[in-house]
C-alpha cells in the first residue's frame, strides 16, 4: 500500500512538472553552419541567457524550458531578436530567415503572436515617422508654412493611430502580460505611445487585472509597485489642472524672478509669441548640452517672436554668473538661488534638469521637454 501511494505521488509530481514545461521547435533558414541561437528570459531590468543551440544544417533547433506562469522570452541571433510570451505547457513553433529575422512566424503560443504583432506595429509606426521627419528636414525653409503644418498633422495622426490601437489592444487583453508591453512601448526616447494623462487609467486597469491573475510574476509586481511612474503622471495631471484654473488669458503660471542685474523679470510680462520656459543648472552637463542646442534655434527665431525664459537652479550666484558669461547665453536668465526647492520648481513640477516647457502666449503650454526637431517644428508653424 505504501509503494502504491508513493507511485501515485510520483505520477502527480511528474504531471505537475509536465504542465509547467514548454518546448520551442524552430528553424532559421539561410543561417551559416557555425551560427548560434540563444533563448533568453526577459527580467524586469535585465535579460538572462537560459540556453543556446548551434543551428543544424537545415537551420533546425529546439529549446525546452519550465515556467509556472507566463513569462517574456527572446530568441536572439547577434543583434537580432524575436520577443515571445510563453505560457506553461505550450509547444511553440518558430520559423525565420537569417536575413529577415524580424519577419518570423510563430504558432502554438497566442501570447507570442500578440507580442509579435505589437512589436511589428511599432516598428512600422517608427518607420513612417522617420520618413516624415526626413521629409520635414529636407523641406525646411523651402515650402510654405501651410505645407509644413500638413506634414506635422500627418505626424500627429500617425502617433495617435498608434496610441488608439494600443488602447484597443489593452482593453481586449487585460488578462494577458502582453498588455504590459503595450503600456510601456515608446515612439522614441522621450515619448511613450500612451502619452496622455488620461492613459493612467489603463495602467491601473492592467495592474489590477494581472495582480489578481499572476501575483507571482515579477513583471506584474513591478507594474503594481511602479509608484514613481504613477506619481509622475499624477503630478503632470495636477499641473495641467492648475494651469487650466488660471483662465484663458496667460494660461500658465506666472514667475517673477531677478536676473543677474537684480531686475525682476515676469514670465507673463514677455511680449514674444512663443516662449521656452527652461529650468537648468550650471552643474548639469545635460543642461549645458541643451543650452548649446538651443543657441542656433534662438538665433534663428528670436527676431521672429521667440524668447527663452531660463530659470537657474544654482544656489551659488557666482557659479550661475560664470556659467552664463562663459557660454554667452543671450536669453533671459533668472534665479532666486533656492535650487530644486523653489516655488518655480514646485508649480512647474520640475524633478530634474534640464526641464523645458514650450509656451504659446495665447494657447498656453504646448509641450513639455520638446526635442530639437519638435521645437523647430512648433516654432516654424507659429513664426515662419
Of how many residues is the chain composed? 384
Of 264 and 230, which is predicted with more confidence?
A: 264
Query: What nine digits make up the cell of 99?
Result: 536575413
Beta strands in the chain (DSSP E): 21-29, 36-42, 47-54, 60-66, 71-77, 80-86, 91-97, 100-107, 186-188, 191-192, 256-258, 264-266, 274-280, 306-312, 332-334, 355-360, 364-368
Residue 11, pLDDT score:
43
Domains parsed from the chain with CATH numbers: 16-108 (2.60.40.1120), 114-225 (no CATH), 249-383 (3.40.30.10)
Mean pLDDT of 95-107: 92
Range ranked top by mean pLDDT from 32-36, 66-70, 248-252:
66-70
Asked if 283 and 316 count as a contact pair (C-beta separation under 8 A), the reply is no
Asked if 162 and 128 count as a contact pair (C-beta separation under 8 A), the reply is no
> In what side-by-side order are the strands of the sheet with 21-29?
60-66, 21-29, 91-97, 100-107
Q: What are phi and psi of 352, to 5 degrees?
A: -160, 170
Whether the pLDDT of residue 240 is over 70: the answer is no
Asked if 95 and 116 count as a contact pair (C-beta separation under 8 A), the reply is no
Q: Do the bridges between strand 186-188 and strand 264-266 make them parallel or antiparallel, or are there none, so unpaired?
A: unpaired
Report residue 25's pLDDT band, with 50, 70 and 90 as the boundaries. Answer: very high
Report residue 235's pLDDT band, with 50, 70 and 90 as the boundaries. Answer: low
Residue (of 127, 103, 96) closest to 31 by Cα position: 96
Report residue 67's pLDDT band, with 50, 70 and 90 as the boundaries. Answer: very high
Whether the pLDDT of residue 238 is over 70: the answer is no
Q: 297-349, pLDDT tens digit by residue?
A: 999 999 999 999 999 999 999 999 999 999 999 999 999 998 887 878 877 87
How big is the chain by its Cα radius of gyration, in Å? Answer: 27
Q: What percent of the chain has pLDDT over 90?
A: 52
Q: How many Cα neighbours within 13 Å face the side chain of 348?
A: 28
Amino acid at each position: 500500500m505504501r509503494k502504491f501511494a508513493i507511485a501515485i505521488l510520483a505520477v502527480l509530481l511528474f504531471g505537475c512538472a509536465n504542465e509547467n514545461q514548454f518546448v520551442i521547435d524552430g528553424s532559421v533558414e539561410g543561417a551559416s553552419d557555425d551560427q548560434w541561437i540563444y533563448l533568453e528570459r526577459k527580467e524586469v531590468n535585465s535579460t538572462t541567457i537560459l540556453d543556446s543551440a548551434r543551428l543544424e544544417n537545415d537551420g533546425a533547433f529546439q529549446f525546452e524550458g519550465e515556467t509556472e506562469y507566463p513569462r517574456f522570452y527572446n530568441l536572439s541571433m547577434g543583434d537580432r531578436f524575436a520577443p515571445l510570451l510563453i505560457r506553461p505547457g505550450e509547444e511553440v513553433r518558430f520559423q525565420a530567415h537569417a536575413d529577415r529575422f524580424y519577419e518570423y512566424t510563430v504558432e502554438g503560443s497566442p501570447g507570442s503572436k500578440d507580442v509579435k504583432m505589437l512589436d511589428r506595429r511599432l516598428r512600422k509606426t517608427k518607420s513612417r515617422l522617420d520618413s516624415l521627419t526626413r521629409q520635414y528636414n529636407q523641406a525646411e525653409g523651402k515650402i510654405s508654412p501651410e505645407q509644413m503644418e500638413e506634414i506635422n498633422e500627418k505626424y500627429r495622426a500617425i502617433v495617435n493611430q498608434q496610441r488608439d490601437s494600443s488602447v484597443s489592444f489593452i482593453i481586449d487583453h487585460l488578462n494577458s502580460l502582453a498588455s504590459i508591453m503595450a503600456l510601456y512601448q515608446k515612439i522614441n526616447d522621450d515619448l511613450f505611445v500612451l502619452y496622455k494623462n488620461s492613459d493612467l487609467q489603463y495602467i491601473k486597469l492592467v495592474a489590477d487585472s494581472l495582480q489578481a491573475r499572476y501575483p507571482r510574476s515579477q513583471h506584474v509586481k513591478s507594474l503594481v509597485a511602479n509608484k514613481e511612474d504613477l506619481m509622475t503622471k499624477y503630478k503632470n495631471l495636477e499641473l495641467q489642472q492648475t494651469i487650466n484654473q488660471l483662465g484663458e488669458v496667460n494660461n500658465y503660471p506666472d514667475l517673477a524672478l531677478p536676473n543677474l542685474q537684480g531686475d525682476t523679470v515676469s514670465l507673463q510680462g514677455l511680449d514674444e509669441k512663443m516662449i521656452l520656459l527652461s529650468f537648468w543648472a550650471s552643474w548639469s552637463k545635460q543642461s549645458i548640452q541643451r543650452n548649446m542646442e538651443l543657441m542656433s534655434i534662438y538665433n534663428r527665431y528670436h527676431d521672429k517672436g521667440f524668447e527663452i525664459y531660463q530659470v537657474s537652479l544654482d544656489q551659488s550666484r557666482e557659479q550661475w554668473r560664470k556659467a552664463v558669461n562663459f557660454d554667452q547665453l543671450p536669453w533671459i536668465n533668472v534665479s532666486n538661488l533656492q535650487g530644486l526647492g523653489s516655488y518655480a520648481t514646485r508649480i512647474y513640477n520640475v524633478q530634474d534638469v534640464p526641464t523645458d516647457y514650450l509656451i504659446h502666449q495665447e494657447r498656453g503650454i504646448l509641450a513639455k521637454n520638446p526635442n530639437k526637431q519638435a521645437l523647430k517644428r512648433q516654432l516654424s508653424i507659429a513664426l515662419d
